[in-house]
Copies of this chain bind each other. A is one copy, B any other.
């Protein structure tokens, strides 16, 4: 089985082209104008079939976000906040560490750092001014570790160091993803309890950030911001090939022409990607803030942010 390049588990399942895969459960529902697809991969064997780690994946789709509709953004951020809260179950006083992956200076890879900028950070308040700290506030810290070529330090090294120092109860990773379908770009959020795996994300992480590697639960939140041009081209090739196979013919010349186009490192994005990333970072951060501060109102969160 061929693995299409996408970070969305639901697209990997679709690409497999089968209605049912043993060990993979898929559910759909709709709420508040958002279409939700749940993919549950029950074990590693099932995961290998679609090229994803075992665990739960929730995909929330809402096309209105791409049109920059305000109501759609609100609906998405509310629903996402609820689902994060369900997945992360806050307990005790230890902080939650929010990690914004990706490169701030590459627009389609900047979702993580930009979402971290809008995350309400509170851990220092407990230490500095404990007497003024609202009892309903929970401890949160956040970091955008940059990328290897910028710091010379691997994200995994940095997070591992911080986990030893901060002893967080859990980690929330935010990252820009790739998808296969054009209409999912900047309109879809994937939430998973499987953490971050090598090769995923626009920045292509090298090492896993998971409960296994870090010792604390890691949930990952991502929004697809690009299609790899090579994926687009390959999809076209597949269509042709299928067609030709039916004819019993070969394809070499055309194949060569398409492949020699050298689009390997190019990406496909909406033209207005800068604005869409800003919106997306706002949606994700609002959802994270609500989930991590369940006892504060939206107004209280906003006024603490400034």
Contacts and interface: CB of A to CB of B under 8 A. Distances in A.
Interface residues of A, number: 74
Contacts of A149: 121, 124
Contact of A267 (B70, B150, B271): B271
Interface stretch (A3-11, A32-40, A178-186): A178-186
Most buried by B among A139, A153, A243, A271: A271
B261 A182 contact: yes
A141 B122 contact: no
Contacts of A232: 229, 232-233, 263
Interface string A225-238: 01101001100110
Contact of A105 (B154, B202, B258, B274): B274
Interface string A58-77: 00000000001110000000
A153 B163 CA distance: 12
A182 B243 CA distance: 26
Interface in A107-123: 107-109, 117, 121-123
A122 to B, nearest CB: 6
A274 B254 CA distance: 33
A296 interface: no
Given A152-B123, A153-B123, A240 B254 contact: yes
A185 B95 CA distance: 37
Among A128, A142, A146, A274, chain B packs the most CB atoms within 10 A around the CB of A274
Given A106-B271, A232-B229, A257-B239, A161 B165 contact: yes
Contacts of A274: 105-107
A151 interface: yes
A53 interface: no
Interface in A251-303: 254, 257-258, 261-263, 265-275, 299, 302-303
Contact of A239 (B226, B254, B262): B254
A258 to B, nearest CB: 6
A247 interface: yes
Given A154-B124, A161-B161, A261 B181 contact: yes
Nearest to A267: B271
Given A239-B258, A267-B270, 18 more contacts: A69-B303, A106-B272, A106-B273, A123-B153, A124-B148, A143-B151, A153-B165, A157-B165, A158-B162, A161-B164, A182-B262, A202-B271, A236-B237, A239-B254, A247-B249, A266-B271, A267-B271, A275-B306
Interface of A: 68-70, 95, 105-109, 117, 121-124, 128, 139-143, 146, 148-154, 157-158, 160-162, 164-166, 181-183, 185, 202, 226-227, 229, 232-233, 236-237, 239-240, 243, 247, 249, 254, 257-258, 261-263, 265-275, 299, 302-303, 306
